[in-house]
Amino acid sequence: MGKCQLQYLPGSAKPAIDLAATLGIKAAPVAVHRFPDGELRVTVATPDPTTVLYATFDPPNEKLLAVLFAAEALRRNGCQRLVLVAPYLCYMRQDTAFQPGESISQRVVAELLSDAVDRVITVNAHLHRTKDIRSIFPGIVAEDLSAMPEIAKYLQALPLDPATIVVGPDEESRPWISEIARRLGLAFAIAQKTRQGDSSVVITLPPQDFQGHPVLLVDDIVSSGGTLMSCARALKSVGASVIDAVIVHALFPAAQIAQLESAGIRSVRSTDSLSHPSAVIPLAGVLASALHGEIEADA
């Protein structure tokens, strides 16, 4: 031990320290000072030849700059191999110009990170039209891990009603909905979603019998909460008994949990990809599995 360590940006101390403990490596914070004009000063600890930089991109713009600044300082102070662990990776949704003149932010962000680090590990990146995350990170190793095994493991430990139906809000959710349902031995259903605006969506449920069934709503990202709330209202209107939600990335403000509850959602649980009161499902296990090679290579 000693040739590999982990450094983490503010906002991620607990999951980062948990990950370092799982890997048996030391963890140190990266200090980020915000000047009155909004500029950032980033100060790293002395790196090891292999250093894992743990940073989840919330809020996205400031974290992106902080990661780029930290990467520069780590390299200049002796880091030879820099692995970015970003459980939530920002700007992955804007993977095309939806309207004339729009920038393809996914491409810009991926190119910036490709210049800064040697490897990127993320979880359930929002890559709906991008088939493979490797295609957007030129020249470096990039991996998009699935949180579904950890989510299923967490849910398996709960007393789940076998009549529960796992529901996904849109066709894009089918892969993870079918995986969770298979792992839990439950039925599943996929709704249709039409987005009308940043926080407004229309959900159409499939012709399935929800009357009296508990529902487990699963989604990758909750941002405005519009998708979950529309789904919950639709499910209530067809007689679902209780609705619980499990998500990977809880991007919505903590105060909005009350709004989700008033739409009929009994509980919201998320992974610890983001610091959030709903974050009860640790990702340290899946991240550590992906990182073991880095530690062994340095042993």
Q: Which residues bind ligand R5P (CB under 6 A)?
A: 169-170, 172, 199, 201, 219-227
Token duo for residue 277? 């009161």
Query: 118 or 219: whose CB is closer to ligand R5P?
Result: 219
Query: 23 or 221: whose CB is closer to ligand R5P?
Result: 221
User: Among the residues of the chain, which ranges form H helices?
Assistant: 13-23, 60-76, 105-116, 148-156, 174-184, 226-237, 257-262, 284-298
CA 91 to each of CA 59, 60, 167: distance values in angstroms, whole numbers, following the listed order:
11, 8, 26
Peptide bond into 149 cis (omega under 30): no
End-to-end CA distance of the chain: 6
Q: Angle 51-52-58 (CA atoms, 0-180°, nearest 5)?
A: 140
Query: 54 or 88: whose CB is closer to ligand R5P?
Result: 88
Pairing of strands 215-222, 40-43: unpaired
Query: 18 or 170: whose CB is closer to ligand R5P?
Result: 170
CB of 227 to ligand R5P, least distance (A): 3
CB of 40 to ligand R5P, least distance (A): 27
CB of 289 to ligand R5P, least distance (A): 25
CB of 274 to ligand R5P, least distance (A): 13
Query: 201 or 268: whose CB is closer to ligand R5P?
Result: 201
CB of 43 to ligand R5P, least distance (A): 34
| Dist. CA 101–CA 113, nearest whole Å | 23
CB of 205 to ligand R5P, least distance (A): 15
Q: Angle 22-28-34 (CA atoms, 0-180°, nearest 5)?
A: 130
Query: 169 or 264: whose CB is closer to ligand R5P?
Result: 169
